Chains A and B, each alone.
Chain A
Amino acid sequence: MSLIDVKNLSKEYRNGEVVTPVLRGLNFAIQKGEFAAIMGPSGSGKSTLMHILGFLDTLSSGQYIFDGRDVSTLSEDELAEMRSCSVGFVFQSFNLLPRTTVLDNAILPLMYTKDKRPEWSAKAKAALESVGLGHRLHHMSDQLSGGEKQRVAIARALINKPELIFADEPTGNLDSKSGLQVMKIFQDLNAQGHTVILVTHEKYTAEHAQRILRLKDGALVGDEKVRDRQLADGNGELRK
């Protein structure tokens, strides 16, 4: 059974009379443990698709079956439970809480789990260190650079060790070295059995995945295996 099974998925935005179709009848499946990249031009609907797959937005028609369950039949609380435990989401626009420290931002998802409060800080620290932000714990999120914000967002998404990780342009604001460090994190997680889905417009970054899905104007126009997979190492050095 696939982890993600999408059937004829469509999404449109309605603004009064104006209807904007964004996703048009997508069909694909992603298996447990896969590392997939979604590529496509700007405005092709990549983020929209990720939001729907991450239980953050609803589809307009079609079906999204996650782990054998039709997502549209899940209750509010079940969806919250999924967001809390099953998936981690790195937003394209980071979405950090303003006027809040880096540490508290990373802690946010722990507040809604069974984790005991005393363990929060240590967990968040570990997650932040893994993205190279151990020295910025008590900075306010507003005082960070774009790349640092992105890494806080990644740490927050990873903190619950979710089985499925979504990352929307996670290296978009990073230099190539930091980008590779981030890709190493995702590859390591994938190696540990986590399923990873990331959006990128860089072919090179996409090649860190095992599979590339191509979107254009809301339709799936390509789905291929990566033959020459890039492997990132922890030093940010390239390795084939």
Chain B
Amino acid sequence: MNKTIFQLAITALRRQKTRAILTMVAISIGIAAVVVMSAAGKGLEKMVISELDVFGPNTIEIEVKVPSVKKTSSENAMGLSTGITITTLKDRDIDSVRQHPNIEYANGSVMGQESVSYGGQIKKVVLMGHGWEQALIDDVKFASGRFFTKEEEESLNSVAVLGNAVKQKMFGDDEAIGKTIYVKGKPFKVVGVMAKRGAAFFFDIDNMVTLPTKTMQKKLLGINYVMYIMAKMKDRTQAKQTAVELTEIIRANHGITDPDKDDFAVNTMEEAKAILKTIIGALTLLLIALVCISLVVGGVGIMNIMYVSVAERKFEIGLRKSVGARRQDILWQFLDEAVILTTGGGVLGIVLGALLAFVIYIVAISYGFKWSYILPFSSILLSLGFSAFIGILFGVYPAKKAASLNPIEALRRE
């Protein structure tokens, strides 16, 4: 780039401060929006994925499913919420899963909502029924006490493990271990209090009470089926194969021959992650689309400012040509101006966007989300490229037109 012409562009911009500032602001807002949105999308993705990581990559899950719907949990949940209850996943299936050579532990789980009371306080909480192996599958940490044992579960003992928030609400700082709480009016002895987990994406474990699955089935719900089975693999590289084999085993258990009639689905965590990533990807794409609209609006602003300024500067172009500027000298000057404006605006926008994204990160973290601060390079580059393109096109194209006039025509004031 010709240095003197570059400096010329700077002087020209200085002469038109307001216009230069307006253009830069328009560009920087568009770019800041892109940076913030894409950073938020990435942060969200990281958070969700890290939530899944809590369960560990070794886990495999078998959940009930309304036959002939897709594997995705959302439709499944919809099917379940419309009142269809699948009651076919039973102890026998858990045993089959447990016997698979690649499975280390397996347990069945149920869920429910019941009022829980202690010393006159009544709370409606989500109840989780887990097998005793859950503590081995999911890495449960305890503030005090322990998980229930195999014996306790098998002899249908009424024992309970409290989520940290539930304990705080019902007991405050008092000792909870050994106390009796009442679930649906029935007494349960508290054997453990979980360590605080923080806000989780799917369920708020801190606000749950965990009971042995069998106890919950028999004493509270009066059912003999489970809602899902959680298992831990010995070798996670075999996840796919294991999932296929488990599917066949449970199909045989349920007497199903047509895969479309499956009343269960086997999910590995890898799969779940992949699905979630797709969902978040789509969400991010939506955000980006929104941003693109703002970018286009900003782009129209840039176009307008650039176009008007070139029209205003037809006289300058004519004068420069009349003292010997070649067409390319004029073009370089305007190109330089556009480049300075778009890079200036771009850098401003990136800084602004990075700052805003950081604020979002800080806020998310303070709410206990496992948010991450990631600035996606590709989208920054994309937005920069876009505004540079707009700026240059609409800065240079009209300048090119004006530069091809003969000097007297360009000098003529309308």
A108 proximity list for chain B (CB < 8 A) = 319-320, 323
Bound Cα distance A109, B316 (Å)? 13
- Among residues 70 to 115 in chain A, which have CB atoms less than 8 Å away from a CB atom of chain B? 76-77, 80-81, 83-85, 89, 91, 95, 97, 99-100, 104, 108-109, 111-113
Nearest Cβ distance between residue B313 and chain A, in whole angstroms? Answer: 10
Query: CB distance A95 to B408 under 8 Å?
Result: no
A100 proximity list for chain B (CB < 8 A) = 15
A91 proximity list for chain B (CB < 8 A) = 411
- Which residue of chain B lies nearest to A54 when distances are taken between CB atoms in the complex? B322
Nearest Cβ distance between residue B129 and chain A, in whole angstroms? Answer: 79
* Given A56-B322, A95-B411: A111 touches B8 (CB 8 Å cut-off): yes
Query: CB distance A58 to B323 under 8 Å?
Result: no
- Among residues 117 to 149 in chain A, which have CB atoms less than 8 Å away from a CB atom of chain B? 117
Query: CB distance B326 to A112 under 8 Å?
Result: yes
One of B5, B323, B411 near A84 (C-beta < 8 A): B323
Query: CB distance B4 to A117 under 8 Å?
Result: yes
Residue among A80, A97, A104 with most chain B CB within 10 A: A80
Query: CB distance A111 to B319 under 8 Å?
Result: no
A51 within 8 A of B: yes
Nearest Cβ distance between residue B272 and chain A, in whole angstroms? Answer: 64
* Given A95-B411, A97-B316, A112-B329: A81 touches B324 (CB 8 Å cut-off): yes
Mostly helix, strand, loop or mixed at chain A's interface? helix
B325 within 8 A of A: yes
Nearest Cβ distance between residue B286 and chain A, in whole angstroms? Answer: 46
Bound Cα distance A76, B410 (Å)? 15
Query: CB distance B326 to A104 under 8 Å?
Result: no
B315 proximity list for chain A (CB < 8 A) = 95
Query: CB distance A58 to B406 under 8 Å?
Result: yes
Bound Cα distance A211, B377 (Å)? 71
Query: CB distance A57 to B11 under 8 Å?
Result: no
A156 proximity list for chain B (CB < 8 A) = 323
**B303-345 near A? 1/0 per residue, CB < 8 Å:** 0000000000001100111111111010000000000000000
Bound Cα distance A113, B320 (Å)? 12
B4 proximity list for chain A (CB < 8 A) = 111, 117
- Which residue of chain A lies nearest to B410 when distances are taken between CB atoms in the complex? A56
* Given A95-B319, A111-B4: A104 touches B11 (CB 8 Å cut-off): yes
- Which residue of chain A lies nearest to B327 when distances are taken between CB atoms in the complex? A76
A99 proximity list for chain B (CB < 8 A) = 15
Q: How many residues of A contact B (CB 8 A)?
A: 27
A104 proximity list for chain B (CB < 8 A) = 11
Bound Cα distance A117, B4 (Å)? 8
Bound Cα distance A58, B325 (Å)? 17
One of A89, A95, A97, A112 near B325 (C-beta < 8 A): A112
- Among residues 1 to 53 in chain B, which have CB atoms less than 8 Å away from a CB atom of chain A? 4-5, 8, 11, 15
Bound Cα distance A9, B138 (Å)? 96
Query: CB distance A112 to B408 under 8 Å?
Result: no
A85 proximity list for chain B (CB < 8 A) = 324
Bound Cα distance A89, B408 (Å)? 12
Bound Cα distance A199, B227 (Å)? 101
Query: CB distance B319 to A113 under 8 Å?
Result: no
* Given A56-B406, A58-B406, A97-B316: A112 touches B411 (CB 8 Å cut-off): no
B212 within 8 A of A: no
Query: CB distance A83 to B407 under 8 Å?
Result: yes
A58 proximity list for chain B (CB < 8 A) = 406
Query: CB distance A56 to B407 under 8 Å?
Result: yes
Bound Cα distance A56, B320 (Å)? 11
A76 proximity list for chain B (CB < 8 A) = 326-327
Nearest Cβ distance between residue A99 and chain B, in whole angstroms? Answer: 5
One of B8, B323, B327, B409 near A83 (C-beta < 8 A): B323
Query: CB distance A97 to B324 under 8 Å?
Result: no
Bound Cα distance A120, B195 (Å)? 76
Query: CB distance A109 to B324 under 8 Å?
Result: yes
* Given A99-B15, A104-B11, A112-B329: A57 touches B408 (CB 8 Å cut-off): yes
**B210-240 near A? 1/0 per residue, CB < 8 Å:** 0000000000000000000000000000000
A77 proximity list for chain B (CB < 8 A) = 326-327
B325 proximity list for chain A (CB < 8 A) = 80, 84, 111-112
Nearest Cβ distance between residue B7 and chain A, in whole angstroms? Answer: 8
Nearest Cβ distance between residue B399 and chain A, in whole angstroms? Answer: 15
* Given A56-B407, A58-B406, A83-B407: A112 touches B15 (CB 8 Å cut-off): no
> 4 smallest A-B Cβ distances: which pairs?
A84-B324, A109-B323, A112-B324, A80-B326
Q: Chain B residues in contact with chain A, CB under 8 A?
A: 4-5, 8, 11, 15, 315-316, 319-327, 329, 406-409, 411
Can you sample 9 A-B contacts with CB below 8 Å? A57-B408, A76-B326, A80-B326, A100-B15, A108-B319, A111-B4, A112-B324, A112-B325, A113-B324
Beyond the given A83-B324, A109-B324, could you list 17 further A-B residue pairs with CB under 8 A, ordered by the A residue number?
A51-B408, A54-B322, A56-B408, A57-B406, A80-B321, A80-B324, A80-B326, A80-B329, A83-B407, A84-B323, A85-B324, A95-B315, A95-B319, A99-B15, A111-B5, A112-B324, A113-B324
